[in-house]
Amino acid sequence: MLSVFQIMLLTDPEVESSLLISSDEGATYQKYRLNFYILSLLFHPEQEDWILAYGHDQKLYSSVEFGRRWQLVHEQVAPNRFYWSKLGLDKEPGLIHLETKALYITCKLQNCTDANKGKPFPGYIDPNSLVVQDEYVFVQVSTGGRPIYYVSSRRDVFTPMKLPKYTLPKDLHVISTDENRVVAAVQEWNQNDTYNLYVSEAGGIYYTLALENVMSSMGPEGNVMIDLYEVAGIKGMFLANKKLNNEVKTYITYNKGRDWRLLQAPSADLRGNRIHCMLPYCSLHLHLQVSANPYTSGNIASRESAPGIIVASGSIGAELTSSNVSMFITSDAGNTWRQIFDEEYSVLYLDQGGALVAIRHTPLPIRHLWLSFDEGRVWNKYSFTSSPLFVDGVLGEPGEETLIMTIFGHVSHRSEWQLVKIDFRSIFNRRCIESDYVPWDLHDQGERCLMGVKRVYRKLKPIARCVMGKIYSVTTISEPCDCTESDFECDYGFERRANGKCTPAFWFLPSSMSRTCTTEHTFLNSTGYRKVVSNNCTGGVMEQYTARRQLCPSQAPRGLHLVTSEGKLTATLASNVTFLVFLEEGDGSKTSIMVDFGDGNAFTYSNVSSIEDGIKHIYKNVGIYRVSATAENSLGSETVLLFLHITCQLQSIHLSAPFVAVKNKEVNLTVVLSPSQVGTVTYIWWFGNNSEPVITLEGSVAFTFSREGISVVTVQVSAGNTILQDRKTIAVHEYFRSHLLAFSSNLDDHNPDVTEWRLDVSRVIKTSMLQAAGVNSEQLLVTVLPGLPTAAEFFLLPDIRLTEGKPDKTLSELVLSALNQNLVQFTLRPGVQITVYAAHLSAAPLVDTSENHSGSAMLMLLSVVVAGLAVFLIYKFKRKIPGLHVYAAMQDEKEQEMIQSPVSPTDSTPSFSSQRELLTSLEPLDTEPNTQTIGEYHTVSYRPSVPTSDTSPFNTEVLSYSAPLFY
């Protein structure tokens, strides 16, 4: 009797976010509302009620009650980068592996607090690079524009994956981790639409080439799909589509990529006509894409419970084509193939492969299916519904022993959604007994020793029509074989030549394999070969091809490496920096390591193994540090250097510039940083309309303005990942007069010393001076200086039309007279009257830039300027308020009273939006996954069961829904 299973349906999130859960095989449903939108679900491999749900807001939720209640696990989780723990490897079954904010962490299912989080990888990883599969964990870290791939076996420490030296991968995908071995597809620097297959030893560290130029394609969601298929039920058996001379051909291997061959085409077609197809010019080629849609079958299918049976679509000829596609089947694991249909069909396995069901792929409505009890040799046609149905998909019930399947679709394009549940139990009249089975020998074109053993499987006789059920087991008889050369592949650093021998690659020094002596007193000296992982052969040539353990040679340390755990040459002030030290050659147990951090601190460690987890250090000051590591033993020493930049976040910048400059005279421009020390800084300057910037490493620059008028100076400061900008407008004239202003003391009590306040007060002062002295507004500039006590400066510019470019002394006397008579006043607020005075800081307060000025007057002007600048700098660093300089300048239009920077007065500090951009630039690139909506959810209603036509020997039940739902 089949066990009762649960069904979960997801509603359309555009209508409502809910789950419909049935505990009685779909007879009734209970609705559970959600406060988040589900994008994907991950069910626990052992605990059927445990589920992880990924929401649209990058939040990960968990449920231990099959979706009836949910709990937030973590925020900002990378899409599809969360994994359940594996029994026997992780400490507890409720552990979750996930990637968040470029970090790999582990969390407890119901208690993911900071105290319970683990961080297996010490540094940051590339976004969307975490892969947890079986006993392996993979991450990627890019350094200098090149990716470095790390692997952890059995949750041990992470080690860089060793591909052949000049592989230079652009992309890497883990294909299989079956039986303690990694199969990886690598796209190398010279490939575009193909990948090379590499296989590892048991640790997943050292890789050798298995097959070149395997085809790839882009999936519907932008994911890379490799044309490689691992056959279920037979260990070590793969199918791959390889590009050879611009033709795509299908190859098969029975020993995990050690040897490949083409597929022999069927001898006859579906109608019995002989097929003339001779290897290697003509062969069978298969489409190897597995469907990403759970409602439809892919191009190829196999099952663990039905070893040797493979169903696939493909073509016969010189290469794989998308036209004239037929369906093919093999019952003997790819040795011989038969054509079963001349069109594409979806094929499902029933009763652990004891029966096969086929439904035609067609856009037309259908009402028939085909059923085979003899591994696809004979197919019987049956009707599954009285009315033709546009089939949208087919689902098998959970478990490979199932005898129930569901077909869903529409009677018409505007009709309700129809679900047809088919129960095939009625067509079987008994349970299978031992006499219904026959033994079957696995072989490769007659060779029975595959992966070092002879394997015998138990299969159902073609004439038997019985139910195998859950108790059926594909028990095998395994007999080990003597080892031969074919049981060994080339070891890391070795390549197979045309004569079949493995010889060292040009870049490889076999003596370097003694690098394992860094942690042990012996090492394995390779013969150039290694036994294929999980190959169980014994005796034979085993001793001849197996690596020999030898004592570590006494040698000086060589190949010392010093890197940071994050692979970067920069770190943040006061943060933990982890240094990793590697030694390629030398006895690590007898080699001491001294690390000098470059800041006066140095430590010596007795051996390399004592610092396998890294060395942590905190820098207290910004700067560039010369970090060195020295490995030394009795035979010699080696030193390696690393220059580390310690930085802190640049918060604000201020461009200090004069408000008025003299034409053809050099002007000093200075940038003040907050904080003053942030590490390595680059300054980019733009002057006026110049399109090419001036780049300096100093925060000051001298510039000469050669034209009168208004000039704009823009400076950008780049520090780490931060770029800030400030801009000032300078009035350039050949002659001008200036004088400092002072105020009644009550003004200081109301001075907040912010840019906007100084701008407004400057405008009010100018208005009052214009009224008191009768000056032309285009000739007067006023600016309030930063700091306390409050000070200001006014500038008198020449009226070229009247004075031939020189300031009018009479006008200057009028302004000073108005100031000395206390005629310049303004009301700051009700009851607060402010008086403006001429500051008497020198014997010659009014300064003229013309040549007939005395040297003493010029000297006094410089004294005033230096004193003012000193007051400004002292107050600037005391208060650290950004954007302290604002000024007034002459406008082109008379009704405007001052010129100000085209940007906001606060533009010297980053805006809110720019700060947010700086923050989000550190996040993973894919923060908002694409979503696809499939239909809408409405009320679910059932119709009475509709009987099928009399030609159906099985039971069907038809359910009607008003719109599609989600499984």
- Residue 879 is predicted with a pLDDT of 37
End-to-end CA distance of the chain: 24
pLDDT of residue 296: 59
Query: Average of pLDDT values for 593-611?
Result: 89
| pLDDT of amino acid 958 | 60
Interacting residues of 870 by C-beta distance below 8 A, sequence separation 6+ = none
What average pLDDT does the segment 688-692 reach? Answer: 82
For residue 514, what pLDDT band results from cuts at 50, 70 and 90? low
More confident residue, 928 or 417: 417
Give CA angle at 676 (671, 681), nearest 5°.
Answer: 65
Which is nearest to 646 in space by CA: 615, 695, 679?
A: 679
- Note the Cα 274 to chain centre separation in Å: 52
Task: Specify the pLDDT at position 216.
Answer: 92
pLDDT of residue 775: 81
Report CA torsion sign: 757, 759, 762, 767.
negative
Instruction: Say what the pLDDT of residue 174 is.
Output: 94
Per-residue confidence (pLDDT) for residue 839, from 0 to 100: 86
Structure tokens at 348: 């499902």
What is the C-alpha separation between 193 and 215, in angstroms, rounded? Answer: 6
From the CA atom positions of the chain, what is the Rg in Å?
40
Output the pLDDT for position 289: 81
pLDDT of residue 855 exceeding 80, the answer is no
Q: Return the CATH fold of 652-733.
A: Immunoglobulin-like (2.60.40)
Helix axes 755-773, 809-820, angle to 10 degrees: 110
Percent of the chain with pLDDT over 90: 46
pLDDT confidence tier of residue 849, bands split at 50, 70 and 90: very low
pTM above 0.75, yes or no: no
Question: Which runs of E-coded beta strand occur in 154-227?
Answer: 159-160, 169-176, 183-188, 194-200, 207-218, 224-226
Res 610 pLDDT > 90: no
Indicate whether 83 pLDDT > 70.
Answer: yes
Q: Tens of pLDDT along 328-358?
A: 999 999 999 999 999 999 888 887 778 899 9
Same topology between domain 485-551 and domain 652-733: no
Confidence of residue 259 (pLDDT cuts 50, 70, 90): very high
State pLDDT tens for residues 770-810: 998 888 888 888 999 888 899 999 998 877 555 455 556 67
278-282, 674-678, 898-902, 933-937: which is most confident: 278-282
What is the residue extent of each domain of the chain?
A: 227-449+461-471, 485-551, 558-647, 652-733, 737-800+809-838
**Mean pLDDT in residue range 845-857:** 41
Whether residue 863 has pLDDT greater than 80: no
Mean pLDDT, residues 577-601? 86
Most confident residue range from 28-32, 464-468, 883-887: 28-32
Which of 3.40.50.720, 3.30.60.270, 3.40.140.10, 3.90.420.10 would CATH assign to domain 485-551? 3.30.60.270
* Amino acid 517: pLDDT: 62
pLDDT for res 399:
55
| Per-residue pLDDT at 492 exceeds 90 | yes
Q: Check residue 959 and give its pLDDT.
A: 55
Position 112 scores a pLDDT of: 86
- Give the 3-state secondary structure of 106-157: EEECCCCCHHHCECCCCCCCCCCCCEEECCEEEEEEEECCEEEEEEEECCCC
If pLDDT is split at 50, 70 and 90, which confidence band does 44 have?
very high
pLDDT at 894: 28
- Interval 45-66 mean pLDDT: 92
Q: HSE on the CB side for 440, CA within 13 Å?
A: 20
Enter the CATH code of domain 558-647.
Answer: 2.60.40.10
Confidence at residue 737, expressed as pLDDT on a 0 to 100 scale: 86
Reported as a single tens digit per residue, the pLDDT across 936-963 is 323 233 232 333 334 456 666 665 443 3
Separation of alpha carbons 891 and 563, rounded Å: 57
Indicate if the pLDDT at residue 872 is higher than 90.
no
- Sign of the Cα torsion 5, 6, 10, 11 reads positive
Q: Please state, in angstroms and rounded to a whole number, the distance separating the CA atoms of residues 228 and 252.
A: 10
Check whether 424 has a pLDDT greater than 80.
yes
Would strands 660-662 and 722-733 be described as parallel, antiparallel, or unpaired? parallel
- Element of type H or E holding 151: strand 146-153
Percent of the chain topping pLDDT 70 = 82
Tens digit of pLDDT for each residue in 211-247?
999 999 887 677 888 999 999 889 889 999 999 999 9
Q: What is the mean pLDDT of the chain?
A: 81
Is the pLDDT at 447 greater than 50? The verdict is yes
